[in-house]
Amino acid sequence: MITPDAPRPVRMGEELDLTLLNAYLHEHAPEVGEVLEVGQFPGGFSNLTYSLKTADQEYVLRRPPVGATIKGGHDMGREFRVLSLLQGHYAHMPNPVAYCETDGILGASFYVMERIAGLILRAPMAPTLNLPPRLMRQLSEALIDNLVTIHALDIVETGLIQLGKPEGYVQRQVEGWTKRYRNARTDAIPAMDIVGNWLAQNYPAEQPPAFLHNDYKFDNVLFAPDESTGEPMPAIRGVLDWEMATVGDPLMDLGATLAYWSEATDTPAYRTFNLTWLPGNLTRQEVADRYAQRSGRDLSNIVFYYVFGLYKNAVIAQQIYARWKQGYSQDERFGKILPMVVELANKAAGAIESGQLT
């Protein structure tokens, strides 16, 4: 049986001032009522996420890590804005409640949203999950169908067009991540150079722009539980972590999902990305086929987007390793991450050579 994520006691140094928080909510979101209990969700590597319990409801508060510079992935205002724009247009999202821009209440900006109850399928669950293959297939199909729904949102009618500049999105992404790799490079990895050069020389004609989640995978989706068995049902209740959402070529979003989508024939290290390698799940090619069928979009250049997704993941891993090598992190796990950079680069180079989602 899978259980919903449960909050734990707040970590030392990351406590919230409940008196100031309640005073702020009383003025700006009185419908919340008095927060009686605060917990903290342990997952995630970026923003801090808390549970706020009132007498009859539960909310979630998100804020940047203590001491973080408020830009990019720690922009609470942007995340709140995304949820506000989606409200009334997309059903599977937490309703935003309040946003505090100043750091005078909790030491940083934060926002509060309603909590959605549901089950998250996380990669570490894979060895003990034991879901029937038929159900696993239905869950992966529901995941991809919902991505099609997200990409079908009208970015003009919803106002989501305000989130970015879709023109030239693919080229900006390739150039940006290539530059990040150059800045974080520590070791010679020939496949990284090969893949980076290939991407720059093979830009596809961009698709009509759409709204992108940009981190869409099982880890960020809540499924409704079967009350009798505790197993997830192929019905999505909510999508989480909208902090990287923007507008651009929707196949960049699909490519990112494919890059995380491990299969049974992948290496053990690559399978740690997701539990999509379990029996019954769609293969990467079946994911692409289902998306094409449901969306009507042309996926003749899907290998480009998949290769970019792998390259981007490799650069992220390289950045983590570079920070460790330069002494900015003492976490020993980060010192062992370079082989993953090599594996992702080789996987991308192999996809280029084969022309398939290998």
Quote the tokens at residue 61: 């508060």
What domains does the chain contain, in order, with CATH numbers? 18-114 (3.30.200.20), 123-354 (3.90.1200.10)
Closest CA to 212 of 286, 160, 140, 142: 160
Q: Strand, helix or coil at 322?
A: helix
Rounded Cα–Cα distance for residues 114 and 311 (Å): 35
Q: Which amino acid is at 158?
A: T
Quote the tokens at residue 239: 């999508």
Q: Strand, helix or coil at 1?
A: coil
Q: What is the pLDDT of residue 72?
A: 52
Classify the C-alpha dihedral 333-338-340-344 as positive or negative.
positive
Rounded Cα–Cα distance for residues 309 and 174 (Å): 10
Q: What is the pTM of this model?
A: 0.93
Q: What are phi and psi of 85, to 5 degrees?
A: -70, -35
Quote the tokens at residue 119: 């089950």
Q: What are phi and psi of 282, to 5 degrees?
A: -60, 150
Rounded Cα–Cα distance for residues 21 and 59 (Å): 13
Q: What is the pLDDT of residue 3?
A: 75
According to DSSP, the residues that pair with 232 across neighbouring strands are: 225
Rounded Cα–Cα distance for residues 293 and 166 (Å): 24
| Cα-based torsion angle of the residue sequence 79, 296, 143, 128 in order, rounded to the nearest 10 degrees | -140
Q: Could you state, in chain order, the average pLDDT of each consecutive group of 10 residues for the chain (358 residues)?
A: 82 94 98 97 77 97 75 78 97 97 94 96 91 97 99 98 96 98 96 98 95 96 91 95 95 99 96 95 99 98 99 96 87 90 98 98
Q: How would DSSP label each residue in 188-241? A: --HHHHHHHHHHHH-PPPPPPPEEE-SS-SGGGEEEEEPTTT-PEEEEEEEE--
Closest CA to 257 of 227, 232, 282, 293: 282
Is the distance from CB of 87 to CB of 66 less than 8 angstroms?
no
